[in-house]
Structure 1
Amino acid sequence: MGRRDDARWAARARPPAGTAHDTRWAGDRRGAVRCAVALLAALQLLDLAAGTAAPARSVLWAALALLLFAVLCPPRVTAGRGWLAARGLLREHRVRTDRLVSVRCVDGVSQRLVLRDAFGGRVELDPATLVANPPLWYRLAEDTRLSVASGSLTRGGAALGRLAERVDRETARAVFEVSGLD
């Protein structure tokens, strides 16, 4: 134990060189933890104020808070040359971005981008993650060009075009805000 073990753990936790990752992930995870803790505290305080506190109810409230955390915790998105991965609480989904066969944008309560590769891999992520992290978008865009050139990407060009326009628009807006030209 000590520094040597800490250094080994830190080396394993660091993404490989040339890997892009979601820079907002840690803050979003902290937000999910705060919401879960706030719910647990509020439920416990209500139970104490009502005089109905019991160990079984405390376990139930803790389970409810854990469920809220599981729903709110965002996947950790990383991308490297030829791959993109989204790691959730229980497992990681990975797709070969240089062998994509389809890209779909699914609208609904929350917009999702679904990527499928030739090997059966499937990743579903929020397009806002790519918009907020230009290095992730750059990795995906570069590898998508390879998929188009090889002829494997047959569906999804329009969805990627709309996403590219959105990334460009948001990046330009950020540059103008930083430079004071907004």
Structure 2
Amino acid sequence: MPGGGAGGAGASAGPGERAAGGGGVGGVGGFGAPAEAGAAGSPAGATRTGPGGFLLGDGGPGDEGFARAERRETVLAEDRRWVGDIRAAAFCALSLGVLLHLMDFSGGTLDGSRSALWTTLSVTLFAVLFPPRVTAGRHWLSVRGLFRERRVSTDLLTRAARRGGVSQRIVLTDIRGRRVEVDPSTLAGNPLLWHELDRGVRKSRERGLLGTGSAMLQHLSDRIEADTVRAVFEVSELR
């Protein structure tokens, strides 16, 4: 009987141990289960790949999380002429408003409605002349206008094109479809800004992403480097 009791106890304990053991095994298996569930519950875009086989959802620069983080990155280069350009725009708009007010005042026709009209014209002129602010950091380029900001990942560029017209523009598009337009003279007049862009462009080439416009960007790079060397010679009086 004692033996039977012990056996019974062992028997009764066995299932409990097996249950505990099963729980332990289940617990170990449980580490894999959430991972599988997590993989199954991950967004459909997590395994999308772009040109060159670059994963958009691998935690790399193509992720939304990176896009949010890059906004907090340090600005390494910016358009040095922007402050002067915005002052010029403000001066032109203010001068127009003052001139129109003075003309109406001297003619005795200035009233509230006409003053509001001239003020509106001045504000409109400022909005038209407002220069976009171009800044760059490690693998990103931003162009901020009066009302919105556009940004691309320069190490994920897929296309570059030159847009003609009254004012020339370089149009850059990245793998996520984001696009910015930059004045070539802004890049040529700011070597540090161009350096940050060129570093990302080289990365895009290495990844096999940049196809259309690669030769155009290389030509622009050669021209900017030649202008930089010429400026150095002029400053050094060695030309």
Q: Return the TM-score normalized by structure 1.
A: 0.87
Higher relative contact order (CA 8 A, sep 6+): 1
Question: CA 1:18 to 1:53, structure 2 compared with 1: closer, same or farther past 3 Å?
Answer: closer
RMSD: 1.4
1:158 equivalent among 199, 209, 215:
215
Q: Could you tell me how far apart the structure 2 residues matched to 1:33 and 1:135 are?
A: 27
Q: Could you tell me how far apart the structure 1 residues matched to 2:134 and 2:101 are?
A: 34
Give 1:66 shift.
0.9
Q: Could you tell me how far apart the structure 1 residues matched to 2:135 and 2:90 are?
A: 21
C-alpha offsets along residues 120-145 of structure 1, whole Å, 9 cap, x if unaligned?
11101111111011011001111101
Give 1:168 shift.
1.5
Flag the structure with larger Rg.
2
Give 1:93 shift.
0.2
Question: Any residues of structure 2 matched to 1:17-166 within 5 Å, and which?
Answer: 17=74, 19-166=76-223
Q: Could you tell me how far apart the structure 1 residues matched to 2:94 and 2:103 are?
A: 14
Q: Could you tell me how far apart the structure 2 residues matched to 1:16 and 1:30 are?
A: 27
Secondary structure of 1:23's partner? coil
C-alpha offsets along residues 56-115 of structure 1, whole Å, 9 cap, x if unaligned?
111111111111111111111111111100011111100010000101111110000100
Q: Could you tell me how far apart the structure 2 residues matched to 1:68 and 1:177 are?
A: 38
Q: What one-letter code is carried by the residue in structure 1 that aligns with 2:129?
A: L
Q: Structure 1 residue runs of 4+, over 6 Å off?
A: none
Q: What one-letter code is carried by the residue in structure 2 that aligns with 1:158?
A: A
Structure 2 unaligned spans of 5+: 1-71
